[in-house]
Chains A and B, each alone.
Chain A
Amino acid sequence: MNAFEYAAPRTLDEALAVLREQGDEARVIAGGTALVTMMRQRLVRPSYLVSLREVSGLGRIEAANGDVRIGALVTHREVETSSLVRERFPVLAETFRRVASVRIRNMATVGGALAHADPNQDPPVTLIVLGARVEIRGAAGGREVPVEDFFRDYYESALEPGEVVTGVVVPRRPAASGAAYVKFLPRTADDYATVAVAATVSLQPDGQRCREARIALGSVGVTPLRARAAEALLAGHPFGADLLRSAGESIRNAVDPLSDHRGSAAYKREMASVMAGRALTQAWEEARAAARETR
């Protein structure tokens, strides 16, 4: 690795000030799993690292008006094991559990993962269908961006220079709804997905027809993808094989995967369609069970 200056400020304002001073040559480090790996391979060579490890106030998972707010420094493992997250959004705890290994999950943070913006990651896919929002702070102040709008390109997020992710807010779910995350990884269990799909389905008062479906996919392009066309096909209809087939077809046309060692573009395209069917089926069943319970 190259030589670099290192600062571990105790407040967010200090961290933002250092970032502003150092400009382009500085990078933020939290858990460091992605950044240190890239630095060891000499792919990035920042001359200044600003660590957020000692910044207070970014490490909490808390309920706020029915929503759940997860601080940027919360580790993947903490989300996975949080009783609050497991109770309110079991699909999110499960998604974080699928990331890499326990070691990586002990180190990697929620905020750091979002800022890294790798389209093969698991959490963004589920966060998108849950309608989550990224909290951002910069010298000019704070703003929020929906997770689905947060990714611009491979390794590029909506963060402007000098901005950091401070947390993610997950809004409460409607009552008669279900969610699922399907990670297709034919290689090793700790790998990124060949293709991943998250889906939520909420039902109309009749407990049969779809009120709203949300579908997002990972590893199918340079950013995670929300499959709005497929979603539109499902709204207002009851569950059925034909419906799933047309949604799958729509998804096959919507994705633009990259060929790599996890699969060719053609294979990923096919699997995106298959896994979407599975995710929707699971989510729909969960929604129907939830609808029956609320009667």
Chain B
Amino acid sequence: MTRKIRLTVNGTARTVEIPTYRTLLDCLRNDLGLIGSKEGCGVGVCGACTVLLDGKMISSCIALAVSADGHEVTTVEGLAGDERLHPVQQAFIDAGGFQCGICTPGQVVSAKALLDAIPNPSDVEIRDWMLGNLCRCTGYYKIIESIQTAAQRSRA
């Protein structure tokens, strides 16, 4: 069975007809061409597939695309402005918050959601929020530093 769904993706209205079993992640990547979000574990644990649904972080690999019908999705592709990268993205570059990059879209989207919710997060708050975004390369120090940098810059 297929369904036609209408959703707003990164501010743009999109309509797509997909099988009901299509996950939101597969829909974003295969039907909408947004390959920034990655599939890591496939069970919602690693965070590589993190997107925002109505502003809230979710694991798109275990969300059905049909459940996003009528809702707003923000992916990593939707963070930058016309002229500039989002402060979180710029901070990850400047502070060296990634190595291989596979977890980075998920890290960046989660970090953006964190700073939207808590503009001045403590170290503990950063770790608690980000605990669901796994990274095999960095050891997390540079990720936390990137988030702190982004927070400082946004406050300035």
Direct contact of A and B (CB under 8 A): yes
Q: A residues bordering B, Cβ < 8 Å?
A: 1-6, 8, 29, 32-33, 36-37, 39-40, 49, 51, 53, 77, 100-104, 106-107, 188-190
In angstroms, Cα B133 to Cα A100, docked, is 12
B102 interface residue per 8 A CB criterion: no
Could you tell me the distance between the alpha carbons of A29 and B132 in the complex, rounded to whole angstroms?
23
Query: Which chain A residues border B67 with CB–CB below 8 Å?
Result: 29, 32, 51, 53
CA distance in complex: A29, B62 (Å): 12
B1 contacts the other chain (Cβ, under 8 Å)? yes
Task: Indicate the member of B23, B50, B62, B110 with the most A CB atoms within 10 Å.
Answer: B62
Secondary structure dominating the interface of A: mixed
Please indicate the chain A residues that have their CB under 8 angstroms from the CB of B62 in the complex: 32-33, 36-37, 40, 107
A-side contacts of B44, CB under 8 Å: 33, 37, 103-104
CA distance A107 to B67 in the complex (A): 11
Q: Cβ of A33: which chain B residues have Cβ within 8 Å of it?
A: 44, 59, 62
Residues of A within 8 A of B45 (CB): 101, 190
Tell whether, in the assembled complex, residue A36 and residue B23 are in contact, meaning their CB atoms are under 8 Å apart: yes
Q: Is the interface of B mostly helix, strand, loop or mixed?
A: mixed
Task: Report chain B residues within 8 Å CB of A51.
Answer: 66-67
Closest to A41 in B: B43
B20 contacts the other chain (CB 8 A): yes
> Which residue on chain B has the smallest CB distance to residue A107?
B58
Q: Which residue among B19, B57, B67, B110 has the maximum number of chain A CB atoms within 10 Å of its CB?
A: B67
Alpha-carbon separation in the docked complex, A49 to B19 (Å):
13
Chain A residues near B47 (CB-CB < 8 A): 101, 103
Given contacts A36-B63, A37-B43, A102-B132, A2 and B21 within 8 Å (CB-CB): yes
